[in-house]
Structure 1
Amino acid sequence: MTQRVMILATDGFEQVELTGPKKRLEDAGFETVVVSPKEGEIKGWDQTDWGDSVKVDRKLSDVSAGEFDALVLPGGQINPDKLRLEDKAVTIVREFCSSGKPVAAICHGPWLLVEADAVRGKTVTSWPSIRTDLRNAGGNVVDQEVATDGNLITSRKPDDVPAFSDALIAALKQAKVGEPA
Protein backbone atom coordinates (compact mmCIF):
# COMPACT_ATOMS: atom_id res chain seq x y z
CA MET A 1 0.00 0.00 0.00
CA THR A 2 1.29 3.46 -0.91
CA GLN A 3 2.30 5.59 2.06
CA ARG A 4 0.28 8.80 2.42
CA VAL A 5 1.77 12.10 3.51
CA MET A 6 -0.34 14.95 4.85
CA ILE A 7 0.85 18.42 3.88
CA LEU A 8 -0.85 20.76 6.33
CA ALA A 9 -1.04 24.34 5.05
CA THR A 10 -3.19 27.41 4.54
CA ASP A 11 -2.90 30.72 2.70
CA GLY A 12 0.57 32.21 2.96
CA PHE A 13 2.65 29.01 2.80
CA GLU A 14 6.11 29.55 1.30
CA GLN A 15 5.60 28.34 -2.28
CA VAL A 16 8.68 26.14 -2.70
CA GLU A 17 8.39 24.71 0.83
CA LEU A 18 5.11 23.06 -0.16
CA THR A 19 5.61 22.39 -3.87
CA GLY A 20 9.21 21.18 -3.57
CA PRO A 21 8.65 18.43 -0.98
CA LYS A 22 5.31 17.52 -2.62
CA LYS A 23 6.97 16.90 -5.98
CA ARG A 24 9.92 15.02 -4.51
CA LEU A 25 7.63 12.81 -2.43
CA GLU A 26 5.39 12.04 -5.40
CA ASP A 27 8.43 11.33 -7.62
CA ALA A 28 9.58 8.85 -4.96
CA GLY A 29 6.22 7.04 -5.09
CA PHE A 30 4.44 8.52 -2.07
CA GLU A 31 0.90 9.92 -2.12
CA THR A 32 0.59 13.52 -0.91
CA VAL A 33 -2.60 15.06 0.41
CA VAL A 34 -2.87 18.83 0.90
CA VAL A 35 -4.98 19.48 3.99
CA SER A 36 -6.21 22.93 5.01
CA PRO A 37 -8.83 24.52 7.26
CA LYS A 38 -10.50 25.81 4.09
CA GLU A 39 -11.74 24.07 0.96
CA GLY A 40 -10.87 24.85 -2.64
CA GLU A 41 -7.44 26.39 -3.03
CA ILE A 42 -4.81 28.02 -0.85
CA LYS A 43 -2.50 30.78 -2.04
CA GLY A 44 1.25 30.54 -1.70
CA TRP A 45 3.77 33.22 -0.87
CA ASP A 46 6.71 33.35 -3.28
CA GLN A 47 9.61 35.13 -1.55
CA THR A 48 8.29 38.73 -1.61
CA ASP A 49 4.76 38.53 -3.01
CA TRP A 50 1.78 36.23 -3.43
CA GLY A 51 2.53 33.14 -5.48
CA ASP A 52 0.50 30.35 -7.03
CA SER A 53 -2.56 28.62 -5.65
CA VAL A 54 -2.54 24.94 -4.70
CA LYS A 55 -5.60 22.70 -4.67
CA VAL A 56 -6.76 21.56 -1.24
CA ASP A 57 -7.42 17.81 -1.27
CA ARG A 58 -9.06 17.47 2.15
CA LYS A 59 -10.49 19.82 4.74
CA LEU A 60 -8.74 19.78 8.12
CA SER A 61 -11.99 19.10 9.97
CA ASP A 62 -12.43 15.85 8.00
CA VAL A 63 -9.05 14.17 8.60
CA SER A 64 -7.24 12.32 11.35
CA ALA A 65 -3.57 11.59 11.91
CA GLY A 66 -4.31 7.87 11.72
CA GLU A 67 -5.06 8.12 7.98
CA PHE A 68 -1.50 9.20 7.16
CA ASP A 69 2.07 7.94 7.45
CA ALA A 70 3.80 11.32 7.82
CA LEU A 71 3.19 15.04 8.17
CA VAL A 72 4.82 17.98 6.33
CA LEU A 73 4.58 21.49 7.77
CA PRO A 74 5.66 24.07 5.17
CA GLY A 75 6.87 27.42 6.37
CA GLY A 76 6.31 30.94 5.28
CA GLN A 77 5.64 33.42 8.04
CA ILE A 78 1.89 33.68 7.44
CA ASN A 79 0.96 29.99 7.08
CA PRO A 80 2.13 28.53 10.44
CA ASP A 81 1.09 31.66 12.31
CA LYS A 82 -2.49 31.16 11.05
CA LEU A 83 -2.44 27.40 11.63
CA ARG A 84 -1.26 27.60 15.24
CA LEU A 85 -4.51 29.43 16.01
CA GLU A 86 -6.50 26.44 14.69
CA ASP A 87 -7.15 23.98 17.54
CA LYS A 88 -7.58 21.06 15.14
CA ALA A 89 -4.25 21.83 13.42
CA VAL A 90 -2.41 21.85 16.75
CA THR A 91 -4.15 18.64 17.80
CA ILE A 92 -3.16 16.91 14.53
CA VAL A 93 0.47 18.00 14.96
CA ARG A 94 0.48 16.75 18.56
CA GLU A 95 -1.03 13.40 17.49
CA PHE A 96 1.56 12.91 14.73
CA CYS A 97 4.41 13.79 17.08
CA SER A 98 3.26 11.36 19.77
CA SER A 99 2.58 8.60 17.23
CA GLY A 100 6.22 8.32 16.22
CA LYS A 101 5.37 8.93 12.56
CA PRO A 102 7.71 11.29 10.69
CA VAL A 103 6.92 14.98 11.16
CA ALA A 104 8.84 17.34 8.88
CA ALA A 105 8.72 21.12 9.46
CA ILE A 106 10.68 23.73 7.52
CA CYS A 107 11.43 27.44 7.97
CA HIS A 108 8.63 28.91 10.17
CA GLY A 109 6.80 25.54 10.18
CA PRO A 110 8.31 24.59 13.58
CA TRP A 111 6.06 27.24 15.16
CA LEU A 112 3.40 24.53 15.02
CA LEU A 113 5.74 22.15 16.84
CA VAL A 114 6.15 24.79 19.56
CA GLU A 115 2.38 25.22 19.82
CA ALA A 116 1.97 21.43 20.12
CA ASP A 117 4.69 21.31 22.84
CA ALA A 118 6.71 18.90 20.69
CA VAL A 119 10.23 20.40 20.76
CA ARG A 120 11.10 20.03 24.44
CA GLY A 121 14.39 18.11 24.62
CA LYS A 122 14.62 17.75 20.82
CA THR A 123 17.34 19.00 18.49
CA VAL A 124 15.70 21.23 15.90
CA THR A 125 16.45 23.97 13.37
CA SER A 126 14.39 26.68 11.72
CA TRP A 127 14.38 30.09 10.13
CA PRO A 128 16.59 32.34 12.33
CA SER A 129 13.75 34.57 13.58
CA ILE A 130 11.93 31.75 15.40
CA ARG A 131 14.95 30.06 16.99
CA THR A 132 14.36 31.91 20.27
CA ASP A 133 10.81 30.53 20.29
CA LEU A 134 12.20 27.02 19.84
CA ARG A 135 14.75 27.52 22.65
CA ASN A 136 12.05 28.94 24.94
CA ALA A 137 9.96 25.83 24.22
CA GLY A 138 12.83 23.62 25.39
CA GLY A 139 14.42 22.76 22.05
CA ASN A 140 18.13 22.35 21.41
CA VAL A 141 18.50 24.67 18.41
CA VAL A 142 21.16 24.09 15.77
CA ASP A 143 21.96 25.90 12.53
CA GLN A 144 22.22 23.17 9.91
CA GLU A 145 20.49 22.12 6.70
CA VAL A 146 18.48 19.34 8.36
CA ALA A 147 18.11 18.33 11.99
CA THR A 148 16.59 14.92 12.68
CA ASP A 149 15.74 13.90 16.24
CA GLY A 150 13.54 10.84 16.59
CA ASN A 151 10.55 11.36 14.32
CA LEU A 152 11.11 15.15 13.99
CA ILE A 153 12.79 16.46 10.85
CA THR A 154 13.39 20.22 10.65
CA SER A 155 15.09 22.54 8.16
CA ARG A 156 15.86 26.24 7.94
CA LYS A 157 14.88 27.70 4.59
CA PRO A 158 13.89 27.17 0.95
CA ASP A 159 17.47 26.29 -0.06
CA ASP A 160 17.23 23.29 2.30
CA VAL A 161 14.19 21.77 0.51
CA PRO A 162 16.19 19.02 -1.30
CA ALA A 163 17.91 17.80 1.89
CA PHE A 164 14.68 18.23 3.89
CA SER A 165 12.74 16.15 1.36
CA ASP A 166 15.45 13.48 1.21
CA ALA A 167 15.44 13.15 5.01
CA LEU A 168 11.66 12.68 5.02
CA ILE A 169 11.78 10.16 2.17
CA ALA A 170 14.47 8.19 4.04
CA ALA A 171 12.34 8.22 7.22
CA LEU A 172 9.30 6.98 5.29
CA LYS A 173 11.31 4.19 3.68
CA GLN A 174 12.70 3.21 7.09
CA ALA A 175 9.17 3.18 8.57
CA LYS A 176 7.98 0.96 5.70
CA VAL A 177 10.82 -1.49 6.38
CA GLY A 178 9.72 -1.70 10.01
CA GLU A 179 6.11 -2.62 9.12
CA PRO A 180 4.93 -6.18 9.63
CA ALA A 181 4.73 -8.22 6.43
Structure 2
Amino acid sequence: MAKVAFLLASYFEDSEMKNPYEAIKEAGHEATIVGLEKGIVCEGKQGTVSYTSDVAASEVNASDFDAAIIPGGAAPEALRVNDDVVRFVKELNEQGKLIAGICHGPQVMISADILKNKAATSYIGIRDDVKLAGAEYRDEEVVVSENLVTSRTPKDEPAFIREILAKL
Protein backbone atom coordinates (compact mmCIF):
# COMPACT_ATOMS: atom_id res chain seq x y z
CA MET A 1 0.00 0.00 0.00
CA ALA A 2 1.33 3.40 -1.00
CA LYS A 3 0.70 6.63 0.87
CA VAL A 4 -0.37 9.31 -1.63
CA ALA A 5 -0.64 13.05 -0.96
CA PHE A 6 -3.22 15.02 -2.93
CA LEU A 7 -2.12 18.68 -3.00
CA LEU A 8 -5.30 20.71 -2.90
CA ALA A 9 -6.67 24.24 -2.62
CA SER A 10 -10.06 25.59 -3.66
CA TYR A 11 -11.10 25.93 -7.30
CA PHE A 12 -9.46 22.68 -8.39
CA GLU A 13 -10.94 20.97 -11.45
CA ASP A 14 -13.54 18.65 -9.88
CA SER A 15 -12.99 15.48 -11.91
CA GLU A 16 -9.19 15.84 -11.82
CA MET A 17 -9.36 15.40 -8.05
CA LYS A 18 -12.37 13.09 -7.68
CA ASN A 19 -11.42 10.43 -10.24
CA PRO A 20 -7.75 9.91 -9.27
CA TYR A 21 -8.64 10.13 -5.55
CA GLU A 22 -11.28 7.42 -5.87
CA ALA A 23 -9.02 5.24 -8.06
CA ILE A 24 -6.15 5.46 -5.54
CA LYS A 25 -8.45 4.45 -2.67
CA GLU A 26 -10.11 1.67 -4.70
CA ALA A 27 -6.63 0.25 -5.47
CA GLY A 28 -6.03 -0.02 -1.71
CA HIS A 29 -3.69 2.92 -1.30
CA GLU A 30 -3.91 5.56 1.42
CA ALA A 31 -4.94 9.04 0.21
CA THR A 32 -4.16 12.12 2.29
CA ILE A 33 -5.39 15.58 1.33
CA VAL A 34 -2.64 18.15 1.93
CA GLY A 35 -3.93 21.72 2.01
CA LEU A 36 -2.59 25.16 2.79
CA GLU A 37 -4.03 24.68 6.31
CA LYS A 38 -5.43 21.65 8.14
CA GLY A 39 -9.20 21.26 8.20
CA ILE A 40 -10.08 23.75 5.48
CA VAL A 41 -12.78 22.93 2.94
CA CYS A 42 -11.52 23.03 -0.64
CA GLU A 43 -14.30 23.60 -3.17
CA GLY A 44 -14.19 22.32 -6.74
CA LYS A 45 -14.54 25.03 -9.38
CA GLN A 46 -17.53 23.22 -10.94
CA GLY A 47 -19.21 22.95 -7.53
CA THR A 48 -19.75 19.18 -7.78
CA VAL A 49 -17.31 18.10 -5.03
CA SER A 50 -15.48 19.49 -2.04
CA TYR A 51 -12.84 18.00 0.24
CA THR A 52 -11.50 18.90 3.68
CA SER A 53 -7.74 18.94 4.06
CA ASP A 54 -6.35 16.26 6.39
CA VAL A 55 -3.10 18.08 7.07
CA ALA A 56 -1.34 21.38 6.33
CA ALA A 57 1.56 21.46 3.89
CA SER A 58 3.69 22.86 6.73
CA GLU A 59 3.18 19.59 8.63
CA VAL A 60 4.14 17.04 5.94
CA ASN A 61 7.45 15.34 5.26
CA ALA A 62 8.30 13.74 1.93
CA SER A 63 9.75 10.70 3.73
CA ASP A 64 6.21 9.88 4.96
CA PHE A 65 4.75 9.64 1.44
CA ASP A 66 5.28 7.55 -1.68
CA ALA A 67 3.69 9.98 -4.16
CA ALA A 68 1.92 13.29 -4.68
CA ILE A 69 -0.87 14.12 -7.11
CA ILE A 70 -1.65 17.69 -8.14
CA PRO A 71 -5.11 18.20 -9.71
CA GLY A 72 -5.54 21.13 -12.08
CA GLY A 73 -7.90 24.07 -12.24
CA ALA A 74 -7.05 27.27 -10.39
CA ALA A 75 -5.78 25.48 -7.23
CA PRO A 76 -2.16 25.04 -8.43
CA GLU A 77 -1.80 28.85 -8.59
CA ALA A 78 -2.55 29.05 -4.84
CA LEU A 79 -0.36 26.04 -4.06
CA ARG A 80 2.71 27.12 -6.01
CA VAL A 81 3.20 30.31 -3.99
CA ASN A 82 3.24 28.38 -0.70
CA ASP A 83 6.81 27.65 0.44
CA ASP A 84 5.79 24.48 2.29
CA VAL A 85 4.08 23.00 -0.78
CA VAL A 86 7.13 23.80 -2.93
CA ARG A 87 9.50 22.32 -0.31
CA PHE A 88 7.42 19.13 -0.11
CA VAL A 89 7.42 18.65 -3.90
CA LYS A 90 11.17 19.33 -4.13
CA GLU A 91 11.85 16.79 -1.37
CA LEU A 92 9.66 14.15 -3.02
CA ASN A 93 11.56 14.71 -6.26
CA GLU A 94 14.96 14.46 -4.53
CA GLN A 95 13.81 11.13 -3.10
CA GLY A 96 12.77 9.94 -6.59
CA LYS A 97 9.12 9.59 -5.61
CA LEU A 98 6.16 9.83 -7.96
CA ILE A 99 4.82 13.33 -8.62
CA ALA A 100 1.80 13.53 -10.92
CA GLY A 101 0.19 16.70 -12.24
CA ILE A 102 -2.71 17.22 -14.62
CA CYS A 103 -3.88 20.38 -16.43
CA HIS A 104 -2.43 23.31 -14.39
CA GLY A 105 -0.88 20.91 -11.84
CA PRO A 106 2.58 21.22 -13.43
CA GLN A 107 2.64 24.88 -12.26
CA VAL A 108 3.64 23.50 -8.85
CA MET A 109 6.40 21.46 -10.53
CA ILE A 110 7.61 24.64 -12.25
CA SER A 111 7.80 26.51 -8.93
CA ALA A 112 9.62 23.54 -7.35
CA ASP A 113 12.09 23.66 -10.27
CA ILE A 114 11.86 19.94 -11.03
CA LEU A 115 11.09 19.94 -14.77
CA LYS A 116 14.62 20.51 -16.10
CA ASN A 117 15.65 17.78 -18.55
CA LYS A 118 12.32 15.96 -18.19
CA ALA A 119 9.49 15.48 -20.66
CA ALA A 120 6.07 16.80 -19.66
CA THR A 121 2.66 17.88 -20.85
CA SER A 122 0.03 20.21 -19.38
CA TYR A 123 -2.96 22.36 -20.19
CA ILE A 124 -1.96 24.25 -23.35
CA GLY A 125 -2.27 27.59 -21.55
CA ILE A 126 0.86 26.84 -19.52
CA ARG A 127 2.78 25.04 -22.30
CA ASP A 128 5.30 27.86 -22.66
CA ASP A 129 5.86 27.96 -18.88
CA VAL A 130 6.60 24.21 -18.92
CA LYS A 131 9.09 24.72 -21.76
CA LEU A 132 10.73 27.68 -20.02
CA ALA A 133 11.11 25.53 -16.89
CA GLY A 134 13.41 23.28 -18.93
CA ALA A 135 11.05 20.46 -19.91
CA GLU A 136 10.60 18.93 -23.33
CA TYR A 137 6.90 19.67 -23.94
CA ARG A 138 4.85 16.88 -25.53
CA ASP A 139 1.23 17.25 -26.64
CA GLU A 140 0.19 13.75 -25.51
CA GLU A 141 -2.55 12.42 -23.20
CA VAL A 142 0.01 11.32 -20.63
CA VAL A 143 3.78 11.73 -20.40
CA VAL A 144 5.88 9.63 -18.04
CA SER A 145 9.40 10.97 -17.47
CA GLU A 146 11.32 9.21 -14.72
CA ASN A 147 9.31 9.92 -11.52
CA LEU A 148 6.95 12.47 -13.13
CA VAL A 149 3.55 11.79 -14.70
CA THR A 150 1.72 14.64 -16.45
CA SER A 151 -1.51 14.98 -18.43
CA ARG A 152 -3.36 17.79 -20.21
CA THR A 153 -7.11 17.90 -19.45
CA PRO A 154 -9.99 15.93 -17.88
CA LYS A 155 -10.33 13.85 -21.06
CA ASP A 156 -6.84 12.46 -20.34
CA GLU A 157 -7.79 11.25 -16.84
CA PRO A 158 -8.03 7.51 -17.75
CA ALA A 159 -4.44 7.50 -19.06
CA PHE A 160 -3.26 9.69 -16.16
CA ILE A 161 -4.80 7.34 -13.57
CA ARG A 162 -3.52 4.24 -15.40
CA GLU A 163 0.10 5.49 -15.31
CA ILE A 164 -0.12 6.60 -11.66
CA LEU A 165 -1.42 3.18 -10.60
CA ALA A 166 1.28 1.45 -12.70
CA LYS A 167 3.99 3.50 -10.93
CA LEU A 168 2.57 2.76 -7.47
TM-score, normalised relative to structure 2: 0.96
- 1:113 alignment partner in structure 2: 109
2:155 counterpart residue number: 159
- C-alpha RMSD of the superposition: 1.0
AA matched with 1:16: S
Residue number in structure 2 paired with 1:30: 29
Query: How many residue pairs align between the two structures?
Result: 167
CA displacement, residues 80-102 of structure 1 (integer Å, 9 cap, x when unaligned): 11111100011111111111111
CA displacement at 1:52 relative to structure 2? 2.4
In 2, the alpha carbon distance for the partners of 1:88 and 1:51 equals 28
Pick from 140, 145, 148: which aligns with 2:141? 145
Per the alignment, residue 70 of structure 2 pairs with 73
Question: Alpha-carbon deviation of 1:161?
Answer: 1.1
Q: 2:165 aligns with which of 162, 169, 172?
A: 169
Q: Which runs of 5+ in 1 are unaligned?
A: 173-181
Q: How does 1:18-97 map to 2 (within 5 A)?
A: 18-40=17-39, 41-46=41-46, 50-76=47-73, 78-97=74-93
* 2:13 partner letter: E
The one-letter code matched in structure 2 to 1:62 is E
Distance 2:48 2:27 in 1: 25
Please list the CA deviations of residues 131-180 of structure 1 after superposition, one character each: whole Å capped at 9, or x if unmatched.
Answer: 000111111000111000000000001111111011011001xxxxxxxx
Task: Work out the CA distance in 2 between the residues paired with 1:51 and 1:94.
Answer: 31
What CA distance in whole angstroms lies between the structure 2 residues aligned with 1:28 and 1:52? 21
User: 2:22 and 2:59 mapped to 1: Cα distance?
Assistant: 24
TM, length-normalised to structure 1: 0.89
Structure 2 counterpart SS, 1:89: helix
Partner of 1:179: none
Query: 2:96 matched to which residue of 1?
Result: 100
Give, in whole Å, the separation in 2 of the partners of 1:30 and 1:11.
24
- Runs of 4+ in structure 1 off by over 2 angstroms are none
Q: Percent identity?
A: 38
Unaligned runs of 5+ in 2: none
Deviation of the 1:118 alpha carbon: 0.7
